[in-house]
Amino acid sequence: MMFTISTAFEDLAVCDAETIFALSSGHGRCGVAVVRVSGPASSMVLRNMAGLTQALPPPRTALLRRITDPQSKELLDRGLVLWFKGPHSFTGEDSAEFHIHGGPAVITAVLQALGSLEGVRPAEAGEFTRRAFHAGKLGLTEVEGLGDLIHAETEAQRRQALRQMDGELGRLYQDWSYRLKRCLAHVEAFIDFSEDELIEDGVLNQVDSSVRQLETEIERHLKDERRGERLRTGVQVVIAGATNAGKSSLLNTLCQRPAAIVSPIAGTTRDIVETSLDIGGFPVLLSDTAGLRDSSDSVEREGVRRARQRVEQADLTLVVVDSTQLPPDPQLVAAFLQEHLSTVLPSPEAGMTAASDRVLLVLNKSDLVPEEQRERTEGELRERPGLPPACFLSCSTSTGLEDFLTVLQSRVKTLCGDPLSGAPSLTQARHRAHLQQSVQALNQYHQYRDQDLALAAEGVRLALTHLGRITGRVGAEEILDIIFRDFCIGK
């Protein structure tokens, strides 16, 4: 039984002897943040970061310590530290907790300090839970729940990855991954085919210089701390819907300034308009998108494509509907909205369904609908299974704005409780760890290049595995694709 749970984590299969850490408390503005550490090196971590040169504190007792960077000895924060001796811990392993101040700068500094310790790395999604399961701390009956948890976490990671892969950083990683794949393919081609086919020795020399170049670039990147700042923070809220439903009016209402141009002409907004907001104390990045309709205008079509892409990456989507377009018979409204949502939202495979808690329906222009019809419709839609919550709102008169803001705020709050939404420092730390391991593995290539090409190739394979944890796994078939494309291989 012990082994089996690990099967669900094929990509995450890293040696359990490693020590992992993660921010366990929610992201957003909070007084105290909790960072958890689990694994055999936990006591070493505690000694190094909390200046405990002698004995460890008694288990499960809070101790106020100065928390310092293990390398520079620089003071990072003062906070509580706790020590849990295995098996009496959540994961069953030796564990430690750091209760530190909740500011992003402190959290980032502590996470980076942890990541700099040897044998310590950021946890993958669900990894604490997995270890708890391994240690027999979770029963089989809890596994069902674990499945759902992993689903939620991987879903959040997927969204975050989509977001990042869209940006400059994503392009950089993809480029490295592509070049590394080619290096591996060329080494493998040399191993598998050079005795029978025409593959020149020069191929390996090219790989030598490509690998060197990659090492230099990744190392330089690891030294350049500022790049991380380019990652956006905050919950991504996207306004989407048909043309002329009032999406831009909603954006303007929410940020109380005309950030987007509003006009009665359908299709006014063609690109994405973004604005940063503070909703209930949580950072929100609000985007307005082009109205979704089939258009012959190529600029507008591009806008629609971007809008759909943005919806797929969003943490929360506000679907704006023109209330005057609703069927007059309240009993038909639910079916109408259902149908409408299916055209706006991405396919259910993307993990997003109308019932998902990542969608809110905004029925705009409520002032243009007769009072009685509105009330009956509201009654009809209340607690409707399969439909997200719907709010009547008039952007021009601000009627219903308060109620809508209350719903929105509670949603944003829930989302911020998910430590994976908009926590770039955590992702950054994970990326750093994999990039570092990738560079180390590339060293093995040079080390064995002239003695044993099989071991040298193993170094490149390993480097690609680590990079693949950021950009996606690379299988043997993909390498063969490149080999057969770049070289003429016979039967």
Q: Is 9 in the site for another protein (CB under 8 A)?
A: yes
- CA–CA distance, 426 with 122 (Å, rounded to integer): 8
Strand segments, DSSP code E, in 293-380 are: 316-322, 359-364
Binding to another protein in span 217-256, by CB under 8 A: none
Burial 96-112 (b: 16+ CB within 10 A, else e): bbbbbbbebebbbbbbb
> Please, which residue, 224 or 477, has the CB nearer to another protein?
477
Q: Is 119 in the site for another protein (CB under 8 A)?
A: no
Among 52, 191, 259, 266, binds another protein (CB under 8 A): 191
Stretch that binds another protein, among 193-201, 213-221, 248-256, 320-328 (CB under 8 A): 193-201
Single-letter amino acid, residue 243: T
Stretch that binds another protein, among 21-29, 47-55, 358-366, 451-459 (CB under 8 A): 451-459
- CA–CA distance, 40 with 48 (Å, rounded to integer): 14
Among 196, 224, 372, 402, binds another protein (CB under 8 A): 196
Chain centroid offset of residue 328 CA: 42
- CA–CA distance, 106 with 20 (Å, rounded to integer): 19
> Please, which residue, 188 or 367, has the CB nearer to another protein?
188
Contacts of 423 (CB under 8 A, 6+ apart): 23, 27
3-state secondary structure of 278: strand
DSSP state, 38? Answer: E
Among 225, 297, 339, 481, binds another protein (CB under 8 A): 481
Q: Which residue has the tokens 């240690």?
A: 135
> Please, which residue, 103 or 346, has the CB nearer to another protein?
346
- CA–CA distance, 255 with 123 (Å, rounded to integer): 37
Among 3, 73, 379, 383, binds another protein (CB under 8 A): 3
CB of 240 to another protein, least distance (A): 23
Q: Is 15 in the site for another protein (CB under 8 A)?
A: yes
Q: Is 454 in the site for another protein (CB under 8 A)?
A: yes
DSSP state, 119? Answer: T
The answer to whether 345 touches 308, Cβ cutoff 8 Å, is: no
Among 63, 137, 192, 308, binds another protein (CB under 8 A): 192
> Please, which residue, 105 or 198, has the CB nearer to another protein?
198
> Please, which residue, 261 or 454, has the CB nearer to another protein?
454
| Beta partners for residue 98, in sequence order | 35, 81
Q: Is 6 in the site for another protein (CB under 8 A)?
A: yes
Among 38, 42, 95, 154, binds another protein (CB under 8 A): 154
Stretch that binds another protein, among 89-97, 317-325, 358-366, 450-458 (CB under 8 A): 450-458
Among 30, 52, 259, 489, binds another protein (CB under 8 A): 489
Q: Is 357 in the site for another protein (CB under 8 A)?
A: no
User: Residue 475, Cβ neighbours under 10 Å: how many?
Assistant: 9
- CA–CA distance, 405 with 379 (Å, rounded to integer): 20
Q: Is 193 in the site for another protein (CB under 8 A)?
A: yes
CB of 4 to another protein, least distance (A): 6
Q: How far apart are the first and last CA of the chain?
A: 44
Binding to another protein in span 26-65, by CB under 8 A: none
CB of 384 to another protein, least distance (A): 22
Single-letter amino acid, residue 280: G
Binding to another protein in span 265-324, by CB under 8 A: none
Chain centroid offset of residue 68 CA: 28
Q: Is 372 in the site for another protein (CB under 8 A)?
A: no
Question: For residue 348, is the peptide bond before it cis, meaning its omega torsion is within 30 degrees of 0?
Answer: no
Q: In what order do the strands lie in the sheet with 120-122?
A: 63-68, 75-84, 95-101, 32-38, 19-23, 120-122
Site residues (CB under 8 A) for another protein? 1, 3-10, 13, 15-16, 126, 140, 143-144, 146-148, 150-151, 154, 188, 190-198, 349, 448, 451-455, 458, 476-477, 479-481, 483-485, 488-491
